Amino acid sequence: MSQPESNGVADSPPTIFVVDDEQMLLDLAKMILEPAGFQVYLFKDPQKALAEYVAAQSPPDVLVTDYAMPEMNGMDLIRECKRLNPQQKTILLSGTVDEGIYANSTNKPDQFLAKPYQINKLVEVIHALLGR
């Protein structure tokens, strides 16, 4: 599942890593994002997502992660990815916490979406992060 070398080339689709421990929400994200023109990589396990992030030839254009997951929460994943790539664009999703969870953190997501979110909103936020 390594990243294609063409990431970042004008004609290649933007890559999105989606991390959520609920398979149904991963499937929903794929159904929303692929028709919108994104190359989507899904991860149920944040540790595996981080390992793939480290191994990727180039980082994803956007990392979308749930907050509440076993082993590693979404803020921990964002912190590790931004440590490796400070320019990484990130979106934190949550149905259990609000934006106050990172108010005093030095590493903040670029955007926050409360679950359940509007389908169009996820695509809109990603386009905004990518400057489209």
User: In terms of pTM, does the model score above 0.75?
Assistant: yes
Q: What is the predicted pLDDT for the residue at 100? A: 87
Question: Are the C-beta atoms of 82 and 90 separated by less than 8 Å?
Answer: yes
Which phi and psi angles does 51 have, rounded to 5°? -60, -40
User: Is 53 contained in some domain?
Assistant: yes
Q: Domain total for the chain?
A: 1
| Three-state secondary structure of the chain | CCCCCCCCCCCCCCEEEEECCCHHHHHHHHHHHCCCCCEEEEECCHHHHHHHHHHCCCCCCEEEEECCCCCCCHHHHHHHHHHHCCCCEEEEEECCCCHHHHCCCCCCCCEEEECCCCHHHHHHHHHHHCCC
User: Is 77 contained in some domain?
Assistant: yes
Separation of alpha carbons 33 and 63, rounded Å? 13
User: Is 2 contained in some domain?
Assistant: no
Write out the residue range of the structural domain in which residue 48 sits.
15-117
Q: At what angle do helices 119-129 and 23-33 cross, to 10 degrees?
A: 60
Write the CATH number for 28: 3.40.50.2300
User: Is 130 contained in some domain?
Assistant: no
User: Is 1 contained in some domain?
Assistant: no
In tens digits, the chain (132 residues) has pLDDT values of: 444 444 445 578 999 999 999 999 999 999 999 999 999 999 999 999 999 999 999 999 999 999 999 889 999 999 999 999 999 999 999 988 888 889 888 889 999 999 988 888 999 999 999 997
User: Is 74 contained in some domain?
Assistant: yes
